[in-house]
Structure 1
């Protein structure tokens, strides 16, 4: 590590292979907490290069508890967090809308970092039992169309950096890694990012994979389609800016997307929307994100058709049916 740190402190960046090697050693517990903290500090001082991020991603995928669901054409919808907006669980809601529309969703998530309630908080609140048992996950995909990977069960290597992250109390490169290390490596991924620099970084990393991907950033700072203004997106097909009008949906006030002050508040909002009792803003933001998820899987479809499918899933009660089926299995 001393050699690596000296190299980095001189202003150099790591090759993909070097990045993979150093993160593998971190994940195997070969370095002290002080060494890990010094390493992470480098990436608070300068941006991560795409080759470095690709290497870090490969190391964590190599070390994870992998789940082979490659026979499914599935999608994950996830945000990087860090936008400081404290929205309700929009990505998780959109996953149920996509599953309700008949597609397979392999959702990867964790407890909330930048918001009151993360995906794991939602699933846990409603009684979902976290597991890394492939048979259980496969059964949920077959029966409900969705399963959930609680990140700590699939990334045991992260236990070596957990104490360092808690001690530092600042965002580190690991905050950016979550959306890149889904243990099932789904064929499709819709990812929300909190700024244009991360969008460009993710685009370069995803170009090296075989996935369909679509990366979104709302230009007023949200790591998802917020419908509070224009949203930029980039995929392996195209790059565009979409307004709420492009979705055929309304523009909404940011205050309407609040996730509340507790997991209880967030869960109440989440269930209300699924049960058709959410506000127009809450419904439409879920529909917009789900529509882009469907478009990520099938780029040839028009956005209007994707919005119509997502709307029918939520407003026709299909997303709620999926949710009840998944939770009833527990």
Structure 2
């Protein structure tokens, strides 16, 4: 790898290699390209060409390529002081996350964002990695900012305090991955998901100890799971709804690739009935504009549900319940959903969000 990087330090040379000799593309070329970009050496045209070439080469189907992208992205991240070498700080404990790749086209309500709040109120310590909308009407950061959170003010130095005080912190990608702003700018302009899109769930700089990660394609599930396994992640569950949904589906089956403590990847299928929850058509859990999603979240947290909110609530319960199960808080998926419902119907989640939002304005 070192020899290749010494020979081809500039993105222009690496791009030529990818285009003229695509069969010879290696993880080293990918890493070299990213380094050239983050050093500010590449033009917009070269960055755009690089992203398109990687997309056409379908490197997001290759676990080793995905690992190269993820590790190089993490290498340039600002890492909060929340533990060392995978060992949690005693005053913070085990950290979890629930996040999806996005881009599934279903435009559902902000399920993982709501689930992260419920999970924290239920006793887990949650570092929720996320960003503003790219392929949906309302991203995770958009919703929380709409609910009064000043996420741009939450910097790496603040993370440990939030996790200790509230068991919750939102990790806004832009604040923790400054080296990636060249790439972010370009993929927004290109208007289609690039291979970097799969990195969001893999590059939380906190490096959670356990996580539920949604992917927008059943074909991507085993690739993501294997990449995470190679990176040393354990007790992570990759999920994909049968509709190519990047969450646990409320409508039917969901495919799971569960990385065990041993490193074995266990593949199985789950259904809302496993949580003691009825199935609903996805159309009943659709998201909408920021204002409509804010109103839905307010009703959920205030326990003032309307008939149209039932499917969304159940959708949230199964995703939260699975996170509680993966984290070891619940002994079964059904118990996880029960804990999630009890927590949601209390005032704990609303109080947590209000307290977190207020704290983000006092930094």
TM-score (norm 1): 0.93
Structure 1 unmatched runs, 5+ = none
Specify the SS of the correspondent of 1:298.
Answer: coil
Following TM superposition, by how much is the alpha carbon of 1:299 offset from its aligned partner in structure 2, in angstroms?
Answer: 8.7
Corresponding position of 1:35? 46
Deviations 1:172-220 (A, max 9, x none): 1222221111121111121111101221221111102333211111101
Q: Equivalent of 1:290, from 301, 320, 343?
A: 320
| Distance in 1 of aligned mates of 2:188 and 2:238 | 28
Q: Equivalent of 2:31, from 20, 25, 32?
A: 20
For the pair 1:53 / 2:66, whether they are aligned, the reply is yes
Corresponding position of 1:230? 253
Corresponding position of 1:173? 195
List structure 1 runs of 4+ shifted beyond 4 angstroms.
none
Higher RCO structure (Cα 8 Å, ≥6 apart) = 1
Specify the SS of the correspondent of 2:23.
Answer: coil
Following TM superposition, by how much is the alpha carbon of 1:13 offset from its aligned partner in structure 2, in angstroms?
Answer: 5.4
CA contact (8 A) 1:24 1:63 kept: no
CA contact (8 A) 2:237 2:257 kept: yes
Cα 1:197/1:43, change in 2 over 3 Å: farther
| Distance in 2 of aligned mates of 1:305 and 1:13 | 50
For the pair 1:201 / 2:232, whether they are aligned, the reply is no
TM-score (norm 2): 0.85
Q: Equivalent of 1:306, from 327, 330, 336?
A: 336
Following TM superposition, by how much is the alpha carbon of 1:318 offset from its aligned partner in structure 2, in angstroms?
Answer: 2.5
CA contact (8 A) 2:256 2:268 kept: yes
Aligned residues: 329
Structure 2 unmatched runs, 5+ = 1-10, 84-88, 261-265
Corresponding position of 1:69? 82
CA RMSD of aligned residues (A): 1.8
| Distance in 2 of aligned mates of 1:109 and 1:135 | 18
| Distance in 2 of aligned mates of 1:87 and 1:155 | 27
| Distance in 2 of aligned mates of 1:99 and 1:112 | 23
